[in-house]
Amino acid sequence: MVSNSRFLVFFVSVFLVHSGSATSYSKPQLPCQPPTHSSYPFCDTSLPIPARLHSLVSLLTVDEKIQRLSDNNSAIPRLGIPAYEWWSESLHGIATNGPGITFDGAVKSATGFPQVILTAAAFNRTLWRSIAAAAAVEARAMFNSGQAGLTFWAPNVNVFVDPRWGRGQETPGEDPMVVSDYAVEYVRGLQGQGLKGKNGRKYSLSGNRMPEEEEDDDRLMLSACCKHLTAYDLELWHNFSRYSFNAVVTRQDMEDTYEPPFKSCVEKGRASCLMCAYNAVNGIPACANKDLLEKARTDWGFEGYITSDCDAVATIFEYQQYAKSPEEAAGIALKAGTDINCGTYMLRNMKSALENKIVVESDIDRALLNLFSVQFRLGLFNGKAVNRKFESFGPKDVCSSEHRRLALEAARQGIVLLKNEQKFLPLDKTRVSSLAVIGPMANTSSLGGDYTGIPCALKSVLDGLGEYIHKTSYASGCLDVACNSTDGFAEAVSIAKRADYVIVVVGLDLSQETEDHDRYSLLLPGHQMALVNELAGVSNKPLVLVLTGGGPLDISFAKKDPRIASVLWIGYPGEEGGKALSEIVFGDYNPAGRLPLTWYPESFTKVPMNDMNMRADPSRGYPGRTYRFYTGEKVYEFGHGLSYSSFSLELLSAPTRISLSQSIKTKLRRSILNRGGNEPYVHVDEVSNCNSLAFSVRVSLRNNGGMDGSRVVMLFSRAPTSYAGGAPQKQLIGFDRVHVSGNGVTETSISIEPCQHLSIVNVEGSRILPLGDHILSLEEIEHVVSVVI
């Protein structure tokens, strides 16, 4: 049985069967309202959407068309079309960042879920979709209250390839498969896809894998936007800025690392928006890169609109000097496939671009058709026939008890136990006479990370721990997270000496990592390490170290120090994070989170942040990036995470041989066997009926302890050793979070499609399936699957 799905019942009960009359609050303004403006053909819901779209665009003047190319659309009173703001944010709950959101109304706050990097550590697809679905409910409630739009620029699906990146916290980590799976679940949840099973029947969320939804329903609850296309992993490092940075990416790295999450967003998630990045890719600004943007539409089947990052059209001229003038920058972006500019650069310069024949009116029309198509799918032009399925959501559906329980469960599932010597944790609260809680992150309620809204409740780690131990004392130790002074050490040492147990809460906050701000060091900021060491020297018992922040930290000192018994990483755990941590510390919840990224040593900071190459190059001392290619020392590996229980895994079944004989045309076999010398392989597109090769790996899990707990099963593969074309050292090909009762046994299975999961990318950027022995690894278990013709 897959774990922790009981809390997800809200998804069915709130989302599917919600009913009731709306409370009195401000309503959004909508087009096609009777009696004056409902008779236009574009308001006629009996007509096909394409016909309605063309009707609307044909009625607009050139100036009105150009005005649509900015995120802030002015009203068109003569057609009854109200103003609309495209930019709203919902990375991990409704955020204050975008101008499309206001908390000055009936809705004063929204549920603050953990930052994405921590949610990713849960490795639970159902959880990921459910958080997005809860955010969608709250967004629709705010829209119905006149406090939000319906287009949200999330998720961030860039792969976290450099540990110093200030926005890595927003991503699901360093593995392209995990990022891709997260992207699909988030997009489907936010856009309202997968709400019903086949034939419209409701279903129970009892597992990690979601049932397939109806494919023919093109309606949207919200519009999700996968960003930032592509190779975006740098804010400001030395003289490199995201506004002018040129990401030089090989075809191999593009195909197997940087593009897969965006491809999955479109092909599997059916995202209705993509955002192009600030940076250039191989010399061409992303928002001016026609090949890049057209690939999404022609190869992946993208249907929706493409927005620039904010002022990313301006950077084409102002920072990157790719264009010779502002109007040329606006025109190049439009013709490349950027439909709308977050900002006013297109708005201010498109008329001149039109007059100078850099663009023609049909270029603008094409962008408007893409933009309006999403608004039509959202029901904004349906007048009185607006989708009643979502009309009843209101303020009562925001910060609901169901959503807050979900936020708590997300934090519980994501928190990672990095170290636990002599089973020091969990603590028995009946045997803790006093507790000292120390550190600059212990008494802050700002635990959401960036792109955060106004949470339903503000609680700190100290608040959560204090609910368990009445006699709790606190000292910050450092004046702030930067910890540039030791002035607070004396007070911290004093309370540590008097306490029975000591918990130290240090790490990162947004002063250290955020948008426009990368780190230069992987060590704890300022004197934080000195504070921890000093407290470890005076504490009556080994202390517990709690780490905050999205990026990895080099805590080698704590990993090796027996005076530090336990280490927990809580990321940015959201509004319920303090409670979740306390439940884990005192044994009311058994931790099972796994790191979704490698924790590197400080020496990694010698690697140039502007080097986007994934693969190691010993000839120039380059160690590579992420667990798939990095060859250096690690503080903690990708997938590391402990539990209070010990688990035994057994591989129950998996094939030993996969034959392609029925999937390869006879005339190709001889040439394939002679291809590549000692490294024979098949191009994936040469394999017919790839789906017929799929198989399952069945696994048994035994919980050897008395405490109920979960285990994240992670299945990796290694390509045949004979293949030397830059194959990953290993790559994750499947995962499942499985709940096992104390002293119990359960089974799970992981589905593998060889063309997808056992394939690799060659130096030309083509996906190939090497012939020979592929090694499947499941912790200490290894199993050989031979791929033959």
Tokens of 380: 């904004």
Helical residues (DSSP H) of 630-761, grouped into ranges: 666-673, 754-757
| DSSP-based three-state secondary structure for 400 | coil
Bond before 35 cis per omega within 30 degrees: yes
Strands 543-548 and 501-507: parallel
> How far is CA 555 from each of CA 244, 521, 567, 674, 773, rounded to the nearest angstrom?
33, 12, 10, 50, 38
Task: Beginning with the edge strand found earlier in the chain, give each strand of the sheet holding 246-247 in spatial order.
Answer: 246-247, 280-281, 284-285
What single letter denotes the amino acid at residue 284?
A: I
Q: How far apart are CA 376 and CA 743, in angstroms?
A: 54
Q: Which residue has the tokens 């129950």?
A: 652
Q: Which residues contact 189 (CB under 8 A, 6 or more apart)?
A: 128, 129, 130, 131, 132, 133, 135, 136
Contact 89, 151 (CB under 8 A): no
Which among 477, 492, 488, 496 has a CA at the least distance from the CA of 538? 496
Closest C-alpha among 214, 188, 161 to residue 267: 188
- Give the span between the Cα atoms of 437 and 439, in whole angstroms: 7
DSSP character for 70?
A: B
Compute φ and ψ for 92, nearest 5 degrees. -145, 50
**CA–CA separation, 784 and 242 (whole Å):** 44
3-class SS of residue 767: strand
Distance between CA atoms of residues 638 and 172, nearest Å? 12
Residue 172: name the closest of 759, 520, 712, 571 by CA: 571
Positions marked active-site? 309
Task: Please state whether the peptide bond connecting residue 440 to the residue before it is cis, i.e. omega within 30 degrees of 0.
Answer: no
Which run of H or of E encompasses 260? Answer: helix 260-267
Pairing of strands 246-247, 767-770: unpaired
Report residue 772 CA to chain centroid gap: 35
List, in sequence order, every beta strand (DSSP E) within 198-297. 223-229, 236-237, 240-241, 246-247, 273-276, 280-281, 284-285
